[in-house]
Structure 1
Amino acid sequence: MRLSDKFHHLTSGSRLLFGTTRTSRIVSVCGLFLAVCAFGAVGVAPLAPDASDLPVKKITQQLDLPKLDEQIAALEEHEQHFIREEKVLRGDTLSALLLRLGVDDSEASDFMKSDATARSLMQLRAGKSVRAQTNDEGELEWLQATLLDNNDKPARSITVARDANGKLIATDTNAKLEKRVEMRSGDIRSSLFAATDDAQIPDNIATQIVSMFETNVDFRYLQRGDHFNVVYETFWQNGEFVKTGRVLAGEFSNAGKLFQSVWFDESPNSGGYYSFDGKSLKKAFLKSPLEFTRVSSGFSMRVHPISGQWKAHKGVDFAAVTGTPIRASGDGVVDTAGPSGGYGNMVVIKHWNNYSTAYAHMSRFAPGIHKGSKVVQGEVIGYVGTTGWSTGPHLHYEFRVNNEARDPMSISVPSAPPLAGADLPRFKNIADEMSHRFALLRPERMAETMKLASR
């Protein structure tokens, strides 16, 4: 019987038994509800068996373990290769280095001692890495290391390897290096180089910072509280630092005044530093022909230290130890280079627009410096000495306009022309990137400053 028929039968029966009063209707509905619940309970009973009532089955399989002798035999059928990397130690010998690399190969050892290219590996400084691959007999398959002459020459990769016939060959090629861009900050407490050491900035980068700002910042008079940010290149190979590159941008706060610069390649073979608005930072003359020295006598009237007479001092004396390099303060042509009476060994350089500079009391001249030779700003032209009328080692420096002496510390000279035309959009992209990097550096400097202030 269908559920609808059952429902009709039940309701009809309820009317017969209880009548049609309100009370009878309630009782009949309650009865109907209980009947439906009972019917539904029977309809939703679980169909799947209880998992606890199911029988448990176990499967056991015997696995054969590989035999050790067979594994060893399989390994012996194939030649093994081992790559090791070792650091060169102070006072290292070739034999000791090869031993640590696992090389047990007299042929390779003799070859590296006799071949001129391979012998250059012994020029490696302590701490540099050498990598080698050997077979399971300790025979050398290849050995590689990177040599660095200086920052003006490319790094060289020296490789000793066997050719198809098993003959050892040494090759010398330019190394393939990975370029990285690094950012550092520093605070001046005593000197620039002390600050760069604290910031773990290489000396080569510190020297470039000086070159970059020396026409605007007098590094002899830095103040405690001066600070700088710098962005520069480093080059790596196999995760090992090889050399530093160029300073890409820098900012230096000196006596409350901020100087900023960014390197811009004007052409594939030339470039220079510019302020962030595109103005060249290179001026016609350096502030000082010596790095990190002090003025011992200025441009003024004075009692001459030898004659004792009161007379005008038409130059500036920079005190420095004998042998300190003297740099040309601007581009020009050497007019004279030789002994000059009381000036001792002297160089005079003619520059553009009737400017000339003189450098006296030199101990000796730099190679290639003679009358007619061209020099560029910053080029070493000689070395500090005490020749001529001098009571001690120093540089007497004169700045002349139309052969008349002027005070080099106060004269105003023009800068190189600013960028213009098609260079400006490309320069702006570079300057914007460096500005963003400096913005990332400044919160670190502020945190360091607050840390120092709390001590």
Structure 2
Amino acid sequence: MLTTVKNLNLGSSIKQLFGSSRKTRIIYGSAIFLAVCAFGAAGVAPMAPDAADLPVKSITEELSVPTLSDQIARLQSEEQLYLREEKVRPGDTLATLLSRLGVSDEAAASFIKSDRVAYNILKLKAGRRVQAQTDKDGQLQRLTTTLTDGNNQPARNIVIAREGNGFTATETSARVERRIEMRTAEIRSSLFAATDASQIPDSIASQIVDMFATNIDFASDLRRGDRFNVVYETFWQNGEMIRSGRVLAGEFYNNGNKYQSVWFDEPGSKQGGGYYTFDGKSLKKAFLKSPIEFTRVSSGFSMRVHPISGKWKQHQGVDFAAPTGTPIRASGDGVIDFVGTQGGYGNVIVIKHWNNYSTAYAHMSRFAAGMRKGAKVNQGEVIGYVGSTGWSTGPHLHYEFRVNNQPRDPMTIQIPSAQPLAGADLQRFRVVANEMKHRFALLSPQDNGFKLASK
């Protein structure tokens, strides 16, 4: 290869180009070295053949394309069907519904009125969707709808189809589709106004209240500008939502604090289903912060002038003003120790809880069904209704929290939480929690200075 370079007079050509100085000699030597490498490589690995020289194989196939007139003639020879969908309107009759669907078929109308299954079309509620398939003359070929009774019973698909000169009607169970919804909302006036504005079902709003009831009093703690994110399930059939399900995760920004919760109820878990923080701590506390939803404190745990006796004395409970008939919930799990009338308390229930805790609920208008001494009650269960019995100047609930029969302020006492997740339960929970963290990150890219509240 060196002989080849010499024969090409590459060295002399470069020398003439760069001169004979020390600097140019360095460039000269480098150029020769690069040239040798290039030609050496060419000798070791010859260049691939030019793609232009490769043989080309072509495949051709003739396709017969029908003319436009042939296509039109074929369409005209085939029977054309028309599909239309309508929603049932208030006051609709079978005739008005079929008319809007483009159905002009007396035989079909008679069949619907006489057949047991098809007759369900006449029971449809306003808003229910109906689809009809007809020919060009309005003769019914097929009619479908979904029937629900509103009691969480399985929905049924009703199908009326033409067969020869008659009709058949079939009823089958509708497939239920579960979807995961994500919503965000901001408090401007109230929680339910915010959920309505974000098209969040009322049942989901109620679950949000229950989920954060041990940390937020939704009657007094909400501030304009508070916001929340919620992930919940809905159930659909044939493209229509039939009901909402459970809140799967919630995130509430309130008064500078951020509260988070995730539902966990995996098969094989040693603990029952419930809401937990992202680190596996239970959100369920032994007692609710307020035994009444959406009310206000009319008298706190402090010295005051008694509204009836006029004497200055210690008020050993908290009064929640609320309309007569407002449901009263047990603030914790326990057993009823007393139910009945007791002096100035009027109608009162006393519940004994674990670890020498007890609570009292006074001035009730009436008790809930099944309330008797020794009966077990669960946290959040309705035990009675607000009234003004006993020494009372207006409808309200007098609520007492006692430790070893000594009254304590229920608004300030530290209440323990349930046992946190551990072991295999915690590992399974982390998978669920990480998915919800990702969803919350999509809903709230920025936390705007809110801090995670300590539990």
User: Structure 2 length normalisation: TM-score?
Assistant: 0.71
**Displacement of 1:279:** 0.4
Q: Figure out how many residues of one structure are paired with residues of the other and give that number.
A: 376
- C-alpha distance after superposition, 1:46-74 (max 9, x if no partner): xxxxxxxxxxxxxxxx98967999987x6
**Displacement of 1:148:** 6.2
1:258 equivalenced with 2:261 (yes/no): no
Other-structure match for 2:60: none
- C-alpha distance after superposition, 1:399-433 (max 9, x if no partner): 22233322111122211100011112211111111
In structure 1, distance between residues paired with 2:254 and 2:71 = 76
- C-alpha distance after superposition, 1:161-212 (max 9, x if no partner): 5799978667584x42222222222222332222223333222222211111
In structure 2, distance between residues paired with 1:82 and 1:101 = 10
Other-structure match for 1:42: none
1:218 equivalenced with 2:221 (yes/no): no
- C-alpha distance after superposition, 1:256-302 (max 9, x if no partner): 11111111114379411110000000001110011111000111222
Contact 1:273 1:282 (C-alpha < 8 Å) held by counterparts:
yes
Other-structure match for 1:388: 390
Other-structure match for 1:88: 88
In structure 2, distance between residues paired with 1:98 and 1:366 = 49
**Displacement of 1:99:** 4.2
Rg comparison, structure with higher value: 1
Contact 1:117 1:172 (C-alpha < 8 Å) held by counterparts:
no
1:204 equivalenced with 2:207 (yes/no): no
In structure 1, distance between residues paired with 2:168 and 2:343 = 63
Greater mean alpha carbon deviation, residues 83-92 or residues 375-384: 83-92
> For 2:123, which of 117, 121, 124 is the aligned residue?
121
Contact 1:333 1:349 (C-alpha < 8 Å) held by counterparts:
yes
Other-structure match for 1:233: 233
Contact 2:117 2:171 (C-alpha < 8 Å) held by counterparts:
no
Secondary structure of residue in 2 paired with 1:346: strand
In structure 1, distance between residues paired with 2:395 and 2:168 = 56
- C-alpha distance after superposition, 1:72-107 (max 9, x if no partner): 7x65xx7x8765432122344455434434564344
Other-structure match for 2:192: 193
Contact 1:323 1:385 (C-alpha < 8 Å) held by counterparts:
yes
Secondary structure of residue in 1 paired with 2:410: coil
The one-letter code of the counterpart of 2:313 is K
Greater mean alpha carbon deviation, residues 266-275 or residues 390-399: 266-275
Q: Structure 2: give runs of 5+ residues left out of the alignment.
A: 1-65, 449-455
Other-structure match for 1:334: 336
Pairing 1:14-163 to 2, within 5 Å after superposition: 83-102=83-102, 104=105, 105-111=108-114, 118=120, 121-122=123-124, 124=125, 126-132=126-132, 138=139, 142-147=143-148, 149=150, 153=152, 155-157=154-156, 159=158, 161=160
1:441 equivalenced with 2:443 (yes/no): yes
Residues 444/164 of structure 1: CA separation in 2 closer, same or farther (3 Å cut): farther
In structure 2, distance between residues paired with 1:137 and 1:300 = 78
In structure 1, distance between residues paired with 2:345 and 2:222 = 31
The one-letter code of the counterpart of 1:144 is T
Other-structure match for 2:362: 360
- C-alpha distance after superposition, 1:337-389 (max 9, x if no partner): 33333322222222222222222222222333333333221122222222222
Residues 339/268 of structure 1: CA separation in 2 closer, same or farther (3 Å cut): farther
Secondary structure of residue in 2 paired with 1:435: helix
Contact 2:94 2:122 (C-alpha < 8 Å) held by counterparts:
no
Other-structure match for 1:412: 414
Q: Structure 1: give runs of 5+ residues left out of the alignment.
A: 1-61, 447-455
CA RMSD between the two structures: 3.5
**Displacement of 1:120:** 8.8
Secondary structure of residue in 2 paired with 1:267: coil
Contact 1:266 1:272 (C-alpha < 8 Å) held by counterparts:
no
Residues 154/423 of structure 1: CA separation in 2 closer, same or farther (3 Å cut): farther
Secondary structure of residue in 1 paired with 2:253: strand
Greater mean alpha carbon deviation, residues 330-339 or residues 129-138: 129-138
In structure 1, distance between residues paired with 2:363 and 2:91 = 42
In structure 2, distance between residues paired with 1:70 and 1:229 = 56
- C-alpha distance after superposition, 1:319-349 (max 9, x if no partner): 1112222111112223333333332222222
Residues 373/110 of structure 1: CA separation in 2 closer, same or farther (3 Å cut): farther
Residues 412/69 of structure 1: CA separation in 2 closer, same or farther (3 Å cut): closer
In structure 1, distance between residues paired with 2:122 and 2:278 = 45
In structure 2, distance between residues paired with 1:353 and 1:167 = 70
Residues 172/375 of structure 1: CA separation in 2 closer, same or farther (3 Å cut): farther
Residues 257/99 of structure 1: CA separation in 2 closer, same or farther (3 Å cut): same
Pairing 1:417-428 to 2, within 5 Å after superposition: 417-428=419-430
Residues 98/422 of structure 1: CA separation in 2 closer, same or farther (3 Å cut): same
In structure 1, distance between residues paired with 2:372 and 2:92 = 44
Other-structure match for 2:301: 299
The one-letter code of the counterpart of 2:297 is V
